[in-house]
Structure 1
Amino acid sequence: MWQLEGAKCSFLFCLGISIIICSVIYLRASIPPPTAPKPPDPSCCRPFSTECKAVLPGTEIGFEWVRRDCQMDILNSHLQCSNLTKELHFITRPLSREEEDYPLAFIMTVHKELEVFVRLLRAIYMPQNVYCIHVDAKAPWEYQEAIRKLVSCFQNTFLSSRSETVTYAGFSRLQADVNCMRDLAKSKIGWRKVVNLCGQDFPVKSNLELVQYMQSKKWRDRNMTPGVKQPVSMRHRTELQHMEITGSHVVLKGMGMKKGPPPHNLQVYFGTAYYALTRAFVDFVLKSPIAQDLLEWSKDTFSPDEHYWVTLNHIKEAPGSHINGDWEGDIRAIKWKDQEGKTHNGCKGHYVRDICIYGIEDLPWIIETNSMFANKFERDTFPQVLDCLEQWHRNKVLSHSTVPIDPSWLLATQSNSSSSSYFNSSAGA
C-alpha cells in the first residue's frame, strides 16, 4: 500500500514541475523582449527655413534639403555608444592625411542648452583631435549626466578633472580653462594647438580650414590672442580689487580698494578671452613663474581672461609670443553693438550685453567673415539659425573629405533622388 502512495506522490510532484515549466515557457513566448528605442523619425524634424536657400547649395535650382537630424534624449537613451554616435551623426574617421597629421585640442566650457552643446561638439569633432569639456559645477544634474554619458562614448573626449562654479566675468572662468590645460598637457595625443570655446559658439571654418589657417606662414609658430595695450577705459578692471559672488556676479571690494602693480613689471594688455595657443605656450602657462604669478595677481580682477592670455603672449620669453600683435587672428565673428555701421550692418536678432544673438538674416555676414568661429547663438530664440549654419558647415566639411563618406555623417539629404549632388552620390558609395 505504501508503495502505491509513494508512486502517487511522485506522479503529482512531476506533474507540478511540468506545469511550472510549461507556464514559464508560455509566459516567455507571450511577452515580447525589450527593444531599444527607435531613433526619431526624420519626417518629424523641423524643416529648414526658406532663408536657408541663400546658403545651401542646390536650392536655387529647385532641390530641397530634408533634415535627417532630430535630437534625442541622450540621458534616457538605451542605445549603445556605437549606435548613439551614429544616430547623432558624428564623423568617425579622419577626413584627410593633412588633418590627421595636425591634431588640435579643444577646451569647451558649458553650462546649459544640451542640444546646442551636442551640435557644437559634433561640428568640431574629429577622431584625431582631443576635447576637454568643462561643465559648470552649478549646471543641473541631468545636464551633467547627459554630457558624461555622451563623452564616455569617445576615447579622445573627457570631462575636466576639476569643475568650477563659474561666475560671469570672474576668475573662475579663467580657472576653468587652466584646469583643462592641465589635463590636456597629460594627453597622449600629440595635439599641436589648443582652441577654447563656450557653449554659444559655432564653427565657421571646417577642421581642415582650421589646420591650414594655423599652419599658414603668419601663424605656424605663433599664438593667436587678439588684443592691444590696456586702454585707459579698462584700467579699473585691474587697478581695483574685485570679488566673486559665487555663481552670480563680480563686485568691487569695499569702496574701491586699489590693487598693487602687476608682477614682473608686466605691461597689461586687453583683448578677447578666446585664443589659439601652441602646446609649448601651454607648458609655459603651467610652469613659468611669470605666468603663475600673473595668474595669482589676476584672482581679484574683473574678467581676467580678457587680459591674462594676451598679456602673456606679449612676453618675449613666451613660446610663440606675438609681441607686436594687435587685433589680429580671425578667432571670432561677433557683432558688437558699438560697432554697428562700422564693422557690420546691425544685429538681425537681438543684443545681450551688447553682443548680437544672431538671427537668420545674420547668416550671410557670418559666412562672409570666414572667421574660425561665430558667437553667439541661442536655440530657443532663433533655432533655425543653427539649423542652416550647421548644414552649411557640414556640407563644407564633407566636401573636403578625401575618404568615402559614411551615410550616417549626413545631417540632411536632397529631396530629388536624381540629383547629381556630391552628398547623394557619396551616401550610396
Structure 2
Amino acid sequence: MIAYTDRKRNPITKDEENFPIAFSLLVYHNFDQIEQLFMSIYRRQNFYCFHVDASSHSAFKRKIAQLAKCFPNNVVVDSQPVDVKYGTISILEAEFRCMTSLIKDLNLYLTTDPPLFQQEWKYSINLTGEELPLFTNLELVEVLRKLRGANVLDGPEYINSLQWFPKTLPRGLSKFKSSAHFVLSFEAVTFLVNDPTQVVSELFEAFSPHNFPEEAIIAILQYNWQVGFPGGRKRETNAKTILGPEYINSLQWFPKTLPRGLSKFKSSAHFVLSFEAVTFLVNDPTQVVSELFEAFSPHNFPEEAIIAILQYNWQVWRTNSTGSKYGWKIMVEDQICVPVEKFDTISAYLEYDHYHFSQTNQLGDTCL
C-alpha cells in the first residue's frame, strides 16, 4: 500500500528526487499509528531510521522490523536501542543513534557498485510515533530548500537562569533552550555525529545529571556562533522583544498596572482557543475578564493583550477548576522575553526568523 501510494497518488517530482530528506522516528508503541505516519512520509528517495525503545514489547519490535524489511534500501532500525526515559539524556542518545545510522548507512549506499543512491540527503527531521504531517513531501522540499543550509529549532529562547540547567557550561557557552524537535542540515548532523571539536561530548557530560537536555544541547550549539555548528546562527542574549507572545515590561498603550498584579503579555490578535477556554471567557467565573476589559477600555489594541495575559498568567487558571486549563506559564527573568509559542509550520518559523534577524542584522550568510 505504501509503495502504491508513493507511485500512483503522489508522483515524485524532479525537485523531490534532487532533494532527499532523512527522518528519524523514536517509537515506543501503537504500531498502527506509526504505520499511518510512515505511509504519509515515505518516498523512495528519502531515508528513514526507526529507534525502537529498548523497553518496547517484543511484538511491537517485530512489527517494526518487518516493516523495515519491506524497504531494505532506505529504511533502517537502530541495532542498539536505548531505554528512553522522559526528560533524561537518553532521549538525545536515541536521537544520536539514529543520526549515526543515517550517516553510516548513507555512506554504505553511496559506495555500492552500482550505488543505490546518487547523493546524500539534505536535511534530517526528527519525529515521534505520535505525529502526522501537515505538509506533502514536495511542500517540505520547497520550504527546506529556502533554508540554504540553515537549521530550524522550535521556539529558541535565551535562558539567564533555570534550575535544570548546569550552573556553568563548557567553554563559557551561553545558555539557550528550544523544544526537542529540530530540522538539521546534513552538515549539522555530521558535526554532531563526528564531534570534531569534542564540544558535543562536553555538553553531554555537563547535562547528563540534569533534566531535559534534549531541549538544550542542540540549541546551545545552534546559537553559540563561536562553536562553528553548521547552519547555526548568532543569537544575542540581550534581545528585549520578539514576535509571538512577549513579556512586556513597559509599553505606552498598556495600562500602568493590571488588575490583581497580573504580568503584562501581548501576542497577535489571532488565536486558537479550546472549548473550555471560550467557556471561561464567556462565563467569567472569577470576574478577571471583566476587570481586564475595564482596565483596557481606554487603551489601544486590547485584542493583542487580554487573551495573552489570561493565557500566560499561571495563577489565573491554576487555582480555578473552571479556568483556562490549557494555558502556559512563561518565566519572566531579568526582563528577558521567554516565548513558549510553538510554530505550527516551518514556514511560520521562517517568517518569524527572517523578520527578526533582518531587523537586527544577525542572520549572517544564511539570510533567506
- After TM superposition, the score normalised by the length of structure 1 is 0.52
Give distance in 2, aligned partners of 1:270 and 1:299.
16
Other-structure match for 1:173: 91
Give distance in 1, aligned partners of 2:157 and 2:178.
6
Shift of 1:261: 1.9
Other-structure match for 2:159: 230
SS at match of 1:236: coil
Structure 2 residue 231 is the aligned partner of structure 1 residue 320: yes
Structure 2 residue 174 is the aligned partner of structure 1 residue 267: yes
Other-structure match for 2:40: 123
**Change in CA separation of 1:347 and 1:148 when aligned onto 2, cut-off 3 Å:** farther
Structure 2 residue 79 is the aligned partner of structure 1 residue 161: yes
Other-structure match for 1:306: 215
The answer to whether the 8 A contact 1:314-1:324 is kept is yes
The answer to which structure, 1 or 2, has the higher relative contact order (CA under 8 A, 6+ apart) is 1
Give distance in 2, aligned partners of 1:194 and 1:321.
15
Q: Indicate the structure (1 or 2) with the bigger Cα radius of gyration.
A: 1
CA-to-aligned-CA distance 1:160-191 (integer Å, 9 cap, x gap) = 12201111111111110011111111113510
The answer to whether the 8 A contact 1:225-1:329 is kept is no
Shift of 1:346: 2.1
Give distance in 2, aligned partners of 1:349 and 1:174.
35
Give distance in 2, aligned partners of 1:151 and 1:102.
22
The answer to whether the 8 A contact 1:131-1:158 is kept is yes
Letter in 1 for 2:158: K
**Change in CA separation of 1:271 and 1:342 when aligned onto 2, cut-off 3 Å:** farther
Q: Among 89, 98, 102, which residue is 2:19 paired with?
A: 102
Structure 2 residue 282 is the aligned partner of structure 1 residue 371: no
CA-to-aligned-CA distance 1:343-396 (integer Å, 9 cap, x gap) = 6322369999979xxxxxxxxxxxxx86159xxxxxxxxxxxxxxxxxxxxxxx
SS at match of 1:202: coil
CA-to-aligned-CA distance 1:386-421 (integer Å, 9 cap, x gap) = xxxxxxxxxxxxxxxxxxxxxxxxxxxxxxxxxxxx
Correspondences of 1:230-249 after superposition (within 5 Å): 230-232=159-161, 235-239=162-166
Other-structure match for 1:11: none
List runs of 5+ in structure 1 lacking aligned partners. Answer: 1-83, 240-259, 331-337, 356-368, 374-429
Shift of 1:113: 1.2
Other-structure match for 2:58: 141
Give distance in 1, aligned partners of 2:123 and 2:325.
31
Correspondences of 1:18-417 after superposition (within 5 Å): 85=2, 90-92=5-7, 95-154=12-71, 155-186=73-104, 187=106, 188=109, 189=117, 190-216=120-146, 219-226=147-154, 227-232=156-161, 235-239=162-166, 261-286=168-193, 287-288=195-196, 289-316=198-225, 317-324=228-235, 344-347=271-274, 371-372=345-346
The answer to whether the 8 A contact 2:2-2:42 is kept is no
List runs of 5+ in structure 2 lacking aligned partners. Answer: 110-116, 245-264, 278-323, 329-342, 348-368
The answer to whether the 8 A contact 2:224-2:235 is kept is no
SS at match of 2:51: strand
Superposed CA RMSD? 3.3
Shift of 1:145: 0.7
Letter in 2 for 1:162: Q
Give distance in 2, aligned partners of 1:199 and 1:352.
26
Aligned length, in residue pairs? 245
**% identical aligned pairs:** 24
Give distance in 1, aligned partners of 2:32 and 2:163.
38
The answer to whether the 8 A contact 2:222-2:229 is kept is yes
Give distance in 2, aligned partners of 1:177 and 1:300.
18
Give distance in 2, aligned partners of 1:103 and 1:284.
19
4+ long deviations beyond 6 Å: 325-330, 338-343, 349-355
Give distance in 1, aligned partners of 2:168 and 2:223.
17
Give distance in 1, aligned partners of 2:209 and 2:140.
35
Give distance in 1, aligned partners of 2:186 and 2:158.
25
